[in-house]
Structure 1
Amino acid sequence: IALDKYFRIKEKDTPDCVVNIWYDNAYCGQHQYKGRTTNTYTVSIPMRAILALSSSFNMGSNDKNVVMHKRGNGRLYYRIAMYYAPTSLQLNAVNYGFKIERTYTAIDHLSHVQQQSDGTWNFRLNEKIKVTLTMTTTQRRYHVALVDYLPAVCEPLNTKLNGTMTDYTNSSVTRSKRSSRYSEYRLNSTIGWAEY
């Protein structure tokens, strides 16, 4: 009932519009929407173009605007995202309300996992490694998804699957005591679990 009411109020007009996009003074493209559809459309702007535009239009401020102009009828749903990699991969830790720590532990022998003085980790090839994630938050959070990618050349090992060769019975994938990773995190709570 609520979705039907929302649709009748917010989406009563059939889409028939043109949307233009600018990054500050630079024109990035347009798309025409006609009729209802579930299709998505993407405008990709390379990072080198953003950096070039930022330096050429610098008026004493680093703040730039993404402007979307819709002409016509219908509701427009959009998402703006930025995917980039820093020029230096040696980054200092930051805490914006979440603190995430990852530690690696050797399963068979301590020499298989070593942390260097610069903070990088060295793993011995074809050895088992336990990864422990600890997430701490300073206030109540809702619908949190913690995604941790495997380091390069690593693969998950799930001892609950038949045929998995391991002598370490505690190396199976485990989670926190909560039923899902999409959890409500309470004030000053810390949740940790082994993933790989």
Structure 2
Amino acid sequence: MQMIRDMGKALAIDPMAVSLLGGMPEITMAWKDPATDLWCLARPDQVSEDGYAGDYKKISPQGAPFDKDLCYRAIRKHRYDMQMGFAHEGFEVLTGNQPEAVGLIFQSDRRPHFCIPVEIPEEEVSIGRFYNHKNLRRFRECLDSGHWQEPGEHPGIFRWSDDERERILEEMNTAGTAP
């Protein structure tokens, strides 16, 4: 309970956190996707009348530095771009206007509970919205067919990224064991 109080105090004195989280809390936005006829729901932590939608994320660095890179990894891992893409779309559908900005405020659970604001720019929002609609279409297909794909139904092939592959092959060449 003390950590929650301390984190709240740290949020209250951070000017950026105050401005980003100062809108109406927990606004539920629901709309029907015209392409799939599915109901969509977004519920960002705050929406402001001046067009900002944001979400709060408590993050535990677990020994890593609490920095923007940690926040960016969390965005990629948890696909917060898709979450904020839904918030962006919900705002647009329901108000007729695009929000001025969407973003996240990350707060460390370690003292002194620093905050890092991260805006999700328009292009990344578009990427999130693309994947949201791709998944809506897939969900619609599953509903219509009654078939829900199992995790192992389509086997994958593992590949290192180009940068990792190049580094590994160079290491193998040095050791004289390259394929």
Same fold (TM over 0.5): no
Greater strand share, 1 or 2? 1
Q: Which has the larger radius of gyration?
A: 1
Greater helix share, 1 or 2? 2
Query: Higher relative CO (CA 8 A, sep ≥ 6), structure 1 or 2?
Result: 2
* TM norm structure 1: 0.25
